[in-house]
Structures are given as C-alpha cells and as structure tokens.
Amino acid sequence: MIFTLKFTPQAEADLLSLEGDKSLLKRLKAVRKALGYLETNPRHPGLNTHKYSALTGPNGEEIFEAYAENKTPAAYRIFWFYGPDKKEITIIAITPHP
C-alpha cells in the first residue's frame, strides 16, 4: 500500500534545517531514504518502527518512531502517525535521538 506523507510545520522545519546544512548531507540522505520506506511500507525492517508511548497525536492517535539511522551518535528518528485520512501518514518531527 502506498501512503501519502503529510508534514506538520515542525517536521517541515526539521527537514529544511537538514537540507540547509551541507555538513548533514549524509543524514539528509538517510532521512529521505527512510521517508521513502514510510511511503511504501511503514513496517520495513530497516525502519525499526515501534510505538512511542510518551506522545499522542492531536486526536489521540498512536505515535510511532522510525529509525532513519541506527548505531550512530545522535541518530535521526522520524516520529509519525497514521492519518488524518486513509492511506496518509503525518510526519510530526524529524529529530536526532537524544
């Protein structure tokens, strides 16, 4: 199933920040690859997708965390939820792991 990705203003700002910093080119490439996997298969093994119980979506949706990078200091993560419509995924943040 193909999903349409929607970005919150925060997620858009996160992506623009990555695009604007040439020193983060490798990380940008990893994030774009992960976003591609999310569009086609949110359960792709490379994403290591799992529920993130500390947050909920604006209407109580379950939030998921997907890995853009792994085994890297401050590896980037993508936080998202299904919806608001069928076949849509809303990206809420793209951020380095604390």
Long-range contacts formed by 38-46: CB under 8 A, 24+ apart: 38/3, 38/5, 38/66, 38/78, 38/80, 38/89, 38/91, 39/2, 39/3, 39/4, 39/5, 39/89, 40/2, 40/3, 42/3, 42/66, 42/80, 42/89
Domain boundaries, the chain: 11-96
- Answer whether 0.85 is exceeded by the pTM: yes
Q: What is the pLDDT of residue 72?
A: 87
Q: What is the pLDDT of residue 9?
A: 98
pLDDT lower than 50: segments of the chain: none
Q: What is the pLDDT of residue 3?
A: 96
**What is the SS3 assignment for 32?**
helix
pLDDT, tens digit, for every residue of 26-45? 999 999 999 999 999 999 99
Q: Both tokens of residue 83?
A: 């919806």
